[in-house]
Amino acid sequence: MEWENHTILVEFFLKGLSGHPRLELLFFVLIFITYVVILLGNGTLILISILDPHLHTPMYFFLGNLSFLDICYTTTSISSTLVSFLSERKTISLSGCAVQMFLGLAMGTTECVLLGMMAFDRYVAICNPLRYPIIMSKDAYVSMAAGSWIIGAVNSAVQTVFVVQLPFCRNNIINHFTCEILAVMKLACADISGNEFILLVTTTLFLLTPLLLLIVSYTLIILSIFKISSSEGRSKPSSTCSARLTVVITFCGTIFLMYMKPKSQATLNSDDLDATDKLIFIFYRVMTPTMNPLIYSLRNKDVKEAVKHLLRRKNFNK
């Protein structure tokens, strides 16, 4: 009852890089260029995976979902960040903040689960090639992708509802670029230990479970590669594994840094810690979606041929 006499907040102020106009301009240019690269790279992958019949396989279906997810993920956060860099008004309503939290957490959870599904797909393709068409039938891989999106939406909806129901009063400054869920929870004038526990449990469940699936799948793939006698036969699967593990380690590592730090560190208010969190956020939201089309597909021979075929067909139509 202590907070009833306080003014209940209806909007928040996104601090971001306020007070550092030169840094804001620099970050705007860098993030805008990266955002364009993300749209072009992932958009191209989606387009060719739809138009080229040779790419109508489970692997490219998953990659198309991942590219669409990356575009949605960056658009929901980066576009508002770019606008805030140029705008003097850096406030956001409580409802708008809830939408940002829901979309950000939903996309992040979906990507974690989807990466686990993709690892399983590669395990079956490399370790059980004869059974691959049966195990990874169209019904199976469509259900796996749909399940990833559903898990992300449900987890995010639960988390967002718990946070929105918290009382917010006094301080309305979010020390972040967007309504990141941890930054918003810290503003509540109530005990958030329950929310932090739920966030820890769900983050552990939806991060560690796919990560465990990734580790087991790629371990079995590597063991299978070592059994191949010819060096030529080992080169393609080993190249695929190393490239994908780079993306997975980058993606999962940044999530661990953001959401699974010790509480004593996460609740510190030092400027150095805040700056570190913001840099991790930028790396998490921008670099991974940029790397995905380059590492997963655009260096792939099938994708290169599909791009060339698409360009030739476009020139022929002219």
CB atoms closer than 10 angstroms to residue 78: 21
Alpha-helical segments (H) within the chain: 21-51, 58-86, 94-127, 132-135, 138-164, 181-185, 193-226, 231-259, 263-266, 271-282, 288-292, 301-317
* Helix (H), strand (E) at residue 162: helix 138-164
10 vs 26: which has the higher pLDDT: 26
pLDDT for 254 beyond 70: no
For range 246-250, the mean pLDDT: 69
Reported as a pLDDT band with limits 50, 70 and 90, residue 239 is low
Share of the chain above pLDDT 70, in %: 74
For range 155-170, the mean pLDDT: 85
Calpha distance 272→261 (Å, rounded):
15
Q: Per the structure block, which two tokens stand in for 245? A: 């593990």
Q: Is residue 183 part of a domain?
A: yes
Give the range with max mean pLDDT: 45-49, 75-79, 229-233. 45-49
Domain count for the chain = 1
Q: Is residue 252 part of a domain?
A: no
Name, in order, each residue with C-beta under 8 angstroms of 309's C-beta and a sequence gap of 6 or more: 52
pLDDT for 262 beyond 60: no
Q: Give residue 207's pLDDT.
A: 76
Least confident of 4-13, 80-89, 200-209: 4-13
- Residue identified by tokens 């860098």 is 30
For range 298-315, the mean pLDDT: 71
For range 107-112, the mean pLDDT: 88
Q: Is residue 313 part of a domain?
A: no
Q: Is residue 317 part of a domain?
A: no
Q: Is residue 265 part of a domain?
A: no
Residue 14 forms beta bridges with which residues? 174
Calpha distance 208→187 (Å, rounded):
28
Q: Give residue 7's pLDDT.
A: 47
- Please say whether the beta carbons of 250 and 290 come within 8 A: no
Alpha-helical segments (H) within 227-270: 231-259, 263-266
Q: Give residue 315's pLDDT.
A: 59
> Helix, strand, coil % (nearest 5) of the chain?
75, 5, 20
- Please say whether the beta carbons of 60 and 315 come within 8 A: no
Q: What are phi and psi of 168, to 5 degrees?
A: -115, 125
CATH number at residue 192: 1.20.1070.10
pLDDT for 240 beyond 80: no
Count of residues for the chain? Answer: 318
Q: Is residue 249 part of a domain?
A: no
Amino acid at the residue 96 = G
For range 51-71, the mean pLDDT: 89
Calpha distance 156→141 (Å, rounded):
23
Q: Is residue 10 part of a domain?
A: no
- Tens digit of each residue's pLDDT (9 = 90 or more) over 165-205: 888 776 778 777 778 787 788 888 878 888 888 888 887 78
Reported as a pLDDT band with limits 50, 70 and 90, residue 265 is very low
Least confident of 40-44, 198-202, 214-218, 281-285: 281-285
Q: Give residue 186's pLDDT.
A: 81
Torsion of CA 266, 271, 277, 280, to 10 degrees: -150
Q: Per the structure block, which two tokens stand in for 212? A: 């465990």
Of 199, 189, 177, 172, nearest to 266 (Cα)?
Answer: 199
- Tens digit of each residue's pLDDT (9 = 90 or more) over 116-134: 898 899 889 888 889 999 9
What three-state secondary structure class fits 8? Answer: strand
- Tens digit of each residue's pLDDT (9 = 90 or more) over 18-32: 666 677 788 788 888
Calpha distance 314→318 (Å, rounded):
7
Task: Share the mean pLDDT of the chain.
Answer: 78
Q: Give residue 296's pLDDT.
A: 66
Q: Is residue 253 part of a domain?
A: no
The range of the structural domain enclosing residue 47 comes to 21-227+283-299
Q: For the chain, list the strands marked E by DSSP.
A: 11-14, 91-93, 173-174
